[in-house]
Amino acid sequence: MHFLSIRFKLTLWYVLILGILLISFSTLLYFTLSNSLHRDVDNKLRSLAELIAAESSSPLSKFGFGSIDQALELSLDLKPIGKFIQVLDESGRVGRRSENLKNVQLPVSLQTLKNATQGIVTFETHRIGNLPLRIITYPVKENHHITRIIQIASSLEDVEEALNKLFLILLITVPSALVVASLGGQFLARKALKPVDQITHTARVITTKNLNQRIEPLKVKDEISRLVDTFNDMISRLDQSFNQIKQFTADASHELKTPLTILKGEVEVALRKVRSPSEYIQVLESNLEEINRMSKIVDDLLWLSKADIGEIKLQREEVNLTAIIQELVDQMSLIAQSKRIQIQTIHPNGGEEIRIYGDALRMRELFLNLIDNGIKYTEEGGEITIHLQKERMLSNQEGRNSSDGRKAEFAKVIISDTGIGISKEDQKKIFDRFYRVDKARSRGQGGSGLGLSICKWIVEAHQGEIEVESEPGKGSSFIVKLPLYNPPLT
């Protein structure tokens, strides 16, 4: 397992955290047991010292001055097995002692004697040879005076033996548990990261030629499953983007190649023989027409590319949409007269001016393209109708309030014509770049195939919506919805 892999890091963190928990628990267990055992020994020593002090102070006591062991057994019916007892006077000289001490004297320090003379009970731990002893020094006070000092010692061998056994058990079990945990952690990490390996394998084999390949979704919906779904969605978007780029490149090449072919053909024909000035003028006029068409395509492509990378900035201000549309109708009516097409504007709101917050120049470009598109695809003697009205948003934004608490309203502009119409299949692609319903007719009318793409970008940049409703042979309606201008409340 590679030391820099996520699998190793997960296992390492798992073992490290478990190790800290086990060591902390073992340390707490060891010291808790140690304190409990020592406290139990201290309590027993204190109880025995208090019994001895109380019995020896009683005037009816059978507690003699012989052997302490015999005195305890006779007077208290108590035989302190494993206890070492000695009695000191107030100056610290040893008086009586238990037989098991023989010639050995329990150690007593100056500080302990000082504490005893002050009536303070002292607990100490000492070693005599290899024997660990817990010693209590208990002063006996009579008539407010220290008359004797009782020392009782008990072996700590059993306590140390229990603690050593516990330490040995912990010393074996904790590392063993960590080893088992590391093996289990590796297994769990390998199993948890197996889908990641599948993602890695799929990502390595995917190229621009097989973007249709996907990772098999997992049955369990967890974080890895969401990662798989996100990765598949990303591949789908990339696939769609590559297809759009390919289509766009092919369409752009075709759009630019056609006028270049025409130019080349006309020039070659003109150079085959000497022609009259009028014929040369005719060729040049035709060339100029194709050059203008190519220039229009290049300008539109440049504009869209800048829009895609965010270089087109909107100059937002209060815009009188009613005035802009009326001005465009007056201008385009001159062009429409050549085809005997009538353009009329309808205001269901009674002529009330409709204002939006946006870029006036882009608004002119938007509706100029839509009206011009209607004129191009409407037969002679047809009609174009423009409905301009206010409307509450009926889409998913319905009911959403503006920042000042007022309901959001929208300007709705419907540009309808009686032209050739658009099939349902074409309606889904009508806003794609270079897409034309009738390519032959569009070329003859000078269209670049980018106008509706530009319109869609302008509308969406203004947080609006654009859609088309059409039926072949009965005309088309382009519906634009734009947020109204809401001046701040004063």
- So what's the pLDDT on residue 446? 52
Contacts of 151 (CB under 8 A, 6+ apart): 85, 86, 87, 88, 106, 108, 135, 136, 137, 138
How far is 474 from 400, CA to CA, in rounded Å? 36
Structure tokens at 128: 């005599």
Exposed/middle/buried for residue 400 (C-beta within 10 Å: 0-12, 13-18, 19+): exposed
Question: How far is residue 346 from each of residues 242, 268, 349, measured CA to CA in Å?
Answer: 43, 52, 9
How far is 203 from 249, CA to CA, in rounded Å? 26
Q: Name the residue with higher pLDDT: 130 or 365.
A: 365
What is the residue-wise DSSP string for 205-269? H--TT-TT--PPPPSS-SHHHHHHHHHHHHHHHHHHHHHHHHHHHHHHHHHHHHHHHHHHHHHHH
What are residue 483's DSSP bridge partners? 410
How far is 371 from 357, CA to CA, in rounded Å? 21
Question: Cβ(405)–Cβ(387) under 8 Å?
Answer: no
How far is 202 from 289, CA to CA, in rounded Å? 51
Question: Cβ(84)–Cβ(100) under 8 Å?
Answer: yes
* pLDDT tens track for 34-51: 999 999 999 999 988 888
Residue 445's pLDDT band, with cuts at 50, 70 and 90, is low
Neighbours of 56 (CB within 10 A): 21
Q: Name the residue with higher pLDDT: 451 or 24.
A: 24
pLDDT beyond 60 at 359: yes
- Which residue, among 293, 288, 285, has the nearest Cα to 255 in the 3D structure? 293
Which domains can be identified in the chain, with CATH numbers?
6-162 (3.30.450.20), 223-306 (1.10.287.130), 314-483 (3.30.565.10)
How far is 416 from 370, CA to CA, in rounded Å? 10
Q: Across residues 230-243, what is the average pLDDT?
A: 83
Question: Cβ(11)–Cβ(186) under 8 Å?
Answer: yes
What is the residue-wise DSSP string for 143-199? TTEEEEEEEEEEE-HHHHHHHHHHHHHHHHHHHHHHHHHHHHHHHHHHHHTHHHHHH
- Which residue, among 99, 100, 106, has the nearest Cα to 138 in the 3D structure? 106
Question: How far is residue 430 from each of residues 254, 418, 438, 459, measured CA to CA in Å?
Answer: 18, 17, 11, 15
CA dihedral angle for residue 263, residue 264, residue 268, residue 274, rounded to 10 degrees = 30
What is the residue-wise DSSP string for 75-112? HSS---TTEEEEEEETTS-EEEE-GGGTT------HHH
Task: Find tokens 């948890």 and name the residue.
Answer: 192
pLDDT over 90 for what percent of the chain? 23
Residue 398's pLDDT band, with cuts at 50, 70 and 90, is very low
Q: Are strands 383-392 and 342-346 parallel, antiparallel or unpaired?
A: parallel
Q: How many CA atoms lie within 13 A of 131 on its CB side?
A: 13
How far is 62 from 73, CA to CA, in rounded Å? 10
Task: Find tokens 């002692």 and name the residue.
Answer: 97
- Residue 274 has phi, psi (to 5 degrees) of -75, 130
* pLDDT tens track for 192-217: 777 778 778 877 887 777 777 777 77
Cα end-to-end span (Å), the chain? 69
Residue 403's pLDDT band, with cuts at 50, 70 and 90, is very low
b/e burial code for range 97-111 (CB count within 10 A of at least 16 → b): bbeebeeeebebeee
Structure tokens at 444: 């003859």
- So what's the pLDDT on residue 205? 81
- So what's the pLDDT on residue 352? 79
Contacts of 73 (CB under 8 A, 6+ apart): 79
Question: Cβ(59)–Cβ(142) under 8 Å?
Answer: no
- Which residue, among 464, 446, 441, has the nearest Cα to 366 in the 3D structure? 464
Question: How far is residue 453 from each of residues 70, 307, 431, 450, measured CA to CA in Å?
Answer: 114, 11, 5, 5
- So what's the pLDDT on residue 397? 44
CA 301 to chain centre: 37
pLDDT beyond 70 at 66: no
* pLDDT tens track for 141-177: 887 788 888 888 888 988 999 999 999 999 999 999 9
Task: Find tokens 């949409």 and name the residue.
Answer: 321
pTM of full prediction above 0.95? no
